Amino acid sequence: MVRRVTYIPATKPLEIQKVGIYCRVSSNKRSQLESLATQISALTNAVAKVSKWKLEDTFIDIASGSAGIKRKEFDRMIRECEAHHISIILTKSISRFGRDTVETLEGIQRIKAAGGRILFHEENIDTDDYDSSLLISILEGFAQAENESRSMNIRLGLSYRAAAGTSKNFDKVIYGYQKDENGKLVIDKEKADVVRDIYHWYLKGASILGIKRKLEENEILSPTGRPTWSKRTIENILSNKKYIGTVKLNDSITGEHEYILEEHHPAIITEYEFRCVQDAKINRSNIVTDETGTHRKSTKYSSKKK
């Protein structure tokens, strides 16, 4: 009787790879901490789905958005890789791993030099699949795209708040005002009196240079706290609608639109006084535009009343 023999090859033990997950948020605000919890949950589930992976450690950095702040857990993660305690790092995205391209590349190079690899979950990038030069171009492309997207989102948010009248820029302090406990503009009585004097002097015929001399002779400090005033500062005070309670913001996306909010805060100057000053500025200007173009008048302005 012939016997049949079947050889069964020895099964190799499953090689378990030790995985570390890295999570980072830029602040300890509630929304950021909720994002952190989501990161940890998603990455933990991703590790659990691979049979040969074992979650060895979790590295978490909080409030580490600024370049000058050290990331203790990030540094510990790299040391653990260099000690061969961890062979794979799983992280949400390139932006969560590094704060800029240079920092990201330095971290990748150290981990790869230790024989480790990094998996970026959102971008589906495995550092073992790319050489250094290609990886650099990929990371720089992602970083640039993300920066442009972040910048556009910020500008969109500013425009939306401006259009809704809720932008904090509406409450930006200028000379003559201060903020109350709620962050709203209120009149600073002493400085508001100076603003009124500037308008009244101008309407009585004083020039910008004459107003500058009056302010300095009366030892009135400028908005920057200096004993001397610049002509531009006085000109800006004489042309800013904020002194009649109106605020104007430009569209931060196209720059083609303006958002005007009237009666936003208490007025220092009446609308009539403001209009009179603007008319006087036009009449006093020695720049004229006619059919021959833009040029200076042949006569100079004199503040003396005729």
Q: What is the pLDDT of residue 9?
A: 62
Topology (CATH level 3) of domain 168-288: Hect, E3 ligase catalytic domain fold (3.90.1750)
Distance CA 69, CA 74 (A): 12
What is the CATH architecture of 17-151?
3-Layer(aba) Sandwich (3.40)
Helix axes 72-82, 101-113, angle to 10 degrees: 30
Distance CA 199, CA 178 (A): 20
Maximum mean pLDDT: which of 65-74, 212-221, 239-248: 212-221
Q: How many CB atoms lie within 10 A of CB 45?
A: 9
**Which of the residue ranges 7-21, 49-63, 152-166, 188-202 would you say has the lowest mean pLDDT?**
152-166
Tell me the per-residue pLDDT of 245-282, one tens digit each, with 9 for 90 and over: 888 765 544 445 666 677 778 899 999 999 999 999 88
Q: Where are the domains of the chain?
A: 17-151, 168-288
Tell me the per-residue pLDDT of 99-122, one tens digit each, with 9 for 90 and over: 777 788 888 889 999 999 999 888
Q: Residue 64: name the closest of 40, 99, 91 by CA.
A: 99
Tell me the per-residue pLDDT of 48-97, one tens digit each, with 9 for 90 and over: 999 899 999 999 998 765 556 788 999 999 999 999 999 999 999 887 88
Q: How far is CA 221 from CA 18, 143, 192, 211, 296, in A?
A: 67, 47, 13, 13, 33
Residue 246 CB-density burial (10 A; 0-12 exposed, 13-18 middle, 19+ buried): middle
Q: Residue 19: name the closest of 91, 71, 75, 72 by CA.
A: 91
Q: What is the pLDDT of residue 233?
A: 93
Q: What is the pLDDT of residue 43?
A: 93
Whether the pLDDT of residue 188 is over 70: the answer is yes
Q: What is the pLDDT of residue 238?
A: 94
